[in-house]
Structure formats: structure tokens, C-alpha cells
Amino acid sequence: MKSNFYNAQVMMIDDSPESIEIAANILKKVDYQLKVAINAKIAMDLIKKDKPTIILLDVNLPDIDGFTFCEKLKKNKDYMDIPIIFLTASNDEKSIQKAFNIGACDYVTKPFSAKELLARVNTQIKLYKQQKELMKAYNELDSFCDIIAHDLKAPLLSIHQLINIFQEDYKSHLNDDGNDLLQVVDKKSLELIEMIKYLLDFSRAGKSEIKKTDIDMQEYCKKIFSEMIDITSDRNIVFNVGYLPIISGDKILIKQFLQNIISNAIKYTSVRKKAIIEFICEEKNNVYVFCCKDNGVGFDMRNASKLFRVFERLHSSREFPGNGIGLAICKRIIQRHGGKIWLEGEIDKGTKCWFTIPK
């Protein structure tokens, strides 16, 4: 009997000849390609040569335990997407919970039931294949948007330049209404150019190569704020920076990220006579947890899930200019660095932008 995934390669990491034989007899009935490793070292060598579709991993290995090996794989960007099903001789709740916490997708208890093993393997391979197809479609769409944005940028810049030439050469030939309309057209062309720039930034944030170096977040934040405050020098803005660590990150992307969140804080505190923006950090469980807090207009937490969508806005562009792409870019940048980002807020009581960066 052929499986729908007959070309899938299953790797079994187990030092029990009996378990290997039982699993082999079950899996060969559906034409899965089975590779066997009796310890973690052999398994790693095989994985480097030929990446498997799925791994069946015994909890107890002769060289290192299965949990340690699983963690090692999940920290490697080349292998972190491989589905791992743990093989265990008991229904020990703590062990099962630990397996899920470190990245396992399922578990099977020994001795194997043929139906159960096949069902769990088939399910995970199906999910893995669907995820790959979805990612491929997403990347194709992303590339398409990138191309469209590139193709639109040049003619829009030409339109903007032609409008400027027209304003200089024919201004005296137009009445006040005509000149006003021309200014509106020019303004709208600039808005489109800016939107395309953000779309290209959004695309690049997800695809550009990460080049990590040491970044002094304290100095970076102060420098970026000082550059932005020159533009809004007429405002009373207090910028408090607590201790911020040196992180490992891509300088270009992290700068873009900080520019976005600091500019948001400056923008949404424009209604305050005295704007207060704070930047702090604390260490938790091998990650740095940062927070950029402001006393601006805030938002309704019921809308929090919408904030990282492209073109999503909770405030009108008349109140606060923008295109609704900045936070989507921020999310991509932080995810590329292995972190998470979320917002907390309350209407008229400000916003907290939280994000994590691994140590």
C-alpha cells in the first residue's frame, strides 16, 4: 500500500533493535524511506548529508538524551522545521510536556500500535508538506509584490518630478484653484511613493540576509531619538532611556525597527503638551525583554490583533499621518531575529510596545 507521501523520508533515532524492527515493518508497508541511527552523533551526520522529512526520536539515547538532541536541532535554522515525534516507554506527563515545550510536535508510546504510529506520522508529514507549500506560495506572492512595487516606483517619481516642473513653469498660467489642485496631486504622489517605499521595506525585512554584529541599544536609541527630535523641535518631549544591553543583531534592520517604534511614540503623543517616552529592558529566561512606553492616545486592546496587519490603522490619517505598514515591518524584523513583539495599551493612557531579543 502506497502512502500519499511515499517519497517522504523518515529517520528513526533509537538504540533498541526491537523497536527499530517493529517500526520498520510498519513503515515499509506504506513505502516510506526509513533511515536509522542508534545514537545522536550518527543521526546528526546523517541529517547533515540528507535532511529527513520527519524524525522519530527516542527519549533515551546512549550518548545524549533525546530532549537535548531535539533542542539542538530546533536551534539550528537549517533543521528547526523538521517535525519531531518523540518515542517514549511511558505516559509520563512531565516528559511529554517537556517534549512539547522544546519543539516536538507529537509523541508515541512503546510498544507501537501500527495504526497509531502511521496516523501520527501521516498527520505530521501532511502538516509539514502543507506548511512548505504555504511558505512557497507566500514567498511567490511576496516576490510579486516586490516586483510590482519596484515597477510602480519609477513612474510615480517621474510624475512627481513632472508636477514640480509644471508648477515652476506654468504657475502663473493657473488660477488659485488650479495651483491648489496641483499641490494636492503632488501631495498624493508623494504619499504613494512613501507607501511603495514601505512596501519594499516590508518585503526586504522578510528576505534580506541577516548580518549580525554587536549593537549598543542604549546608544542606538538615543541617537535615533536625537535625529528625530530635530524634526519636531517645537514639541516638549521627554525621552527617558533606562539600562539597555548590547545585543547581537543586524544594524540596518534594528535601526529601521527602532525608527518605526520611536516615531510612532512621537507621533501618537503629539496631542500631549508634555510627551513622555520611556525605553527600558529586563532579562528573562535567556532573552532581553524591551519596552518602549509612551503617554499618547493609546488604543483599545480589543483591536490589538489588527495592529501588525499591513495597511491596518486604528486612527484616521487626518489625526495621525501614516500608511499602516510600519508595525508589520517591525514584526518581521523582530521575528527574523528570533524574538516576539506585542502591544499593550489603553485609550487615552498610552501604549507599551514590548519586544524580545534572544541573548
Domains in the chain: boundaries: 9-112, 132-207, 209-359
Out of 3.30.565.10, 1.10.10.1800, 3.40.50.720, 3.30.420.60, the CATH code matching 209-359 is: 3.30.565.10
Distance in angstroms (rounded) separating the CA atoms of residues 8 and 6: 6
Sign of CA dihedral 140, 159, 195, 250: positive
What is the distance of C-alpha 328 from the center of its chain? 9
Q: How buried is residue 352: exposed, middle or buried, by Cβ count under 10 Å (0-12/13-18/19+)?
A: middle
In this prediction, residues 135-161 reach a mean pLDDT of 72
Mean pLDDT of the chain: 84
Per cent of the chain over pLDDT 70 is 86
In this prediction, residues 188-196 reach a mean pLDDT of 75
pLDDT of residue 2: 46
Q: Are 84 and 67 in contact (CB under 8 A)?
A: no
Global pTM?
A: 0.55
Q: CB within 8 A of 103, min separation 6: which ones?
A: 70, 71, 73, 74, 80, 84
Higher local confidence (pLDDT), 192 or 354: 354
Distance in angstroms (rounded) separating the CA atoms of residues 6 and 44: 23
For 65-82, the DSSP string reads -HHHHHHHHHTSTTTTTS
pLDDT of residue 136: 77
pLDDT of residue 1: 46
The bridge status of strand 351-358 relative to strand 341-345 is antiparallel
Distance in angstroms (rounded) separating the CA atoms of residues 106 and 358: 26
In the beta sheet, which residues pair with residue 345? 351
* CA neighbours closer than 13 Å in the CB half-sphere of residue 117: 26
User: pLDDT band at 185, cuts 50/70/90?
Assistant: confident
Length of the chain: 359
Sign of CA dihedral 53, 58, 62, 67: positive
pLDDT of residue 184: 82
pLDDT of residue 135: 78
Fold of 9-112: Rossmann fold (3.40.50)
Phi, psi (rounded to 5 degrees) for 318: -70, -40
- What are the residue ranges of helices labelled H in the chain? 17-28, 40-49, 66-74, 93-101, 114-170, 176-207, 217-229, 251-268, 326-336
In this prediction, residues 22-40 reach a mean pLDDT of 87
